[in-house]
Structure 1
């Protein structure tokens, strides 16, 4: 199953939803797709969606899926990578009125550089990336929260 999650910021991401809809409609994506579309006003015709999910709904769908297609938000990417999902990130771009600037390009490129995800620079590449994502070998995410807490604790106590 593919889970599409677009976050909760007040920006649309119709460009991504339309491309996924086209790919499903043309049978280029044959597995189940579910999307959390947020503030997008495009309503998919070929897959199930909901505007917003509560915490439990989000967690249940994240646990069921094996692939995540997401915007270039840090939280969305990290939550999927932590769960060992195959992640395809698509940066929201200012030119399509999807965000106020192109900072998501930097975020996506950094996760790509660290080999945690795959990404799409041109929306027309999405179908190809979905077809090959299962063959991709990514680095396993390991949180360094414990090391940070230990470092702070050591600093405070010395």
Structure 2
């Protein structure tokens, strides 16, 4: 199963339309399920979608997915990493009035290149990334620890305690 989520606050018609086109072109619509908000203007015709999901059903769908497609929201990215789910992200853009600014684009740039994260700069890159995720190109994915990265923890420890005394 492939799970598309666009969050709950804003529609993301550009992403939904692109995924719908990919489903039409590849015949993978039967594998796709989307959560697209009740504010969406575009309704997909090649896969099943609902406006919202109860939290337990959302987690169940996320857990069942072979990979996830999402806006570049931190909640979706962190959930995918913690569940070891490959995720294809497309950021909402401020200049397209999909969100208030380009914070999602900055998030996408920060996470691009990490194992299991397929980051599309725009909808034109999306079909190739979806094909890669569907073909299992994210097998090297590591699990997100509930603790920080080892280098970050050490840097914070050094900052708080000060450098070790030379002896």
Could you tell me the TM-score, scaled by structure 2's length? 0.80
1:60-139 alignment, distance < 5 Å: 60-133=60-133, 134-136=136-138, 137-139=140-142
**C-alpha deviations, 1:112-135, integer Å up to 9, x for none?**
254451111121221111111212
After TM superposition, give the deviation of residue 32 of structure 1 in Å.
Answer: 0.5
Instruction: Give the SS at the match of 2:15.
Output: helix
Change (3 A) 1:106 1:33: same
Give, in whole Å, the separation in 2 of the partners of 1:116 and 1:135: 8
2:15 aligns with: 16
1:7 aligns with: 7
Question: Which stretches of structure 1, 4 residues or longer, exceed 3 Å deviation after superposition?
Answer: 28-31, 113-116
Instruction: Give the SS at the match of 1:98.
Output: coil
Q: Which has the higher helix share?
A: 1
Instruction: Give the SS at the match of 2:125.
Output: helix
1:28-47 alignment, distance < 5 Å: 29=28, 32-38=31-37, 39-47=39-47
Change (3 A) 1:130 1:18: same
Ranges in structure 2 where 5+ consecutive residues have no aligned partner: 161-167
* CA RMSD across the alignment: 2.2
Aligned positions, number: 148
Ranges in structure 1 where 5+ consecutive residues have no aligned partner: none
Change (3 A) 1:107 1:57: same
Alpha carbons 1:116, 1:138 under 8 Å: kept: yes
Instruction: Give the SS at the match of 1:93.
Output: coil
**Rg larger in structure:** 2
**C-alpha deviations, 1:37-94, integer Å up to 9, x for none?**
0132211111001001111110111121111001111011111211111111110001
Alpha carbons 1:29, 1:127 under 8 Å: kept: no
1:49 aligns with: 49
Give, in whole Å, the separation in 2 of the partners of 1:111 and 1:125: 16
Greater mean deviation of Cα atoms: 80-89 or 127-136: 127-136
2:163 aligns with: none
Instruction: Give the SS at the match of 2:104.
Output: helix
Greater mean deviation of Cα atoms: 30-39 or 94-103: 30-39
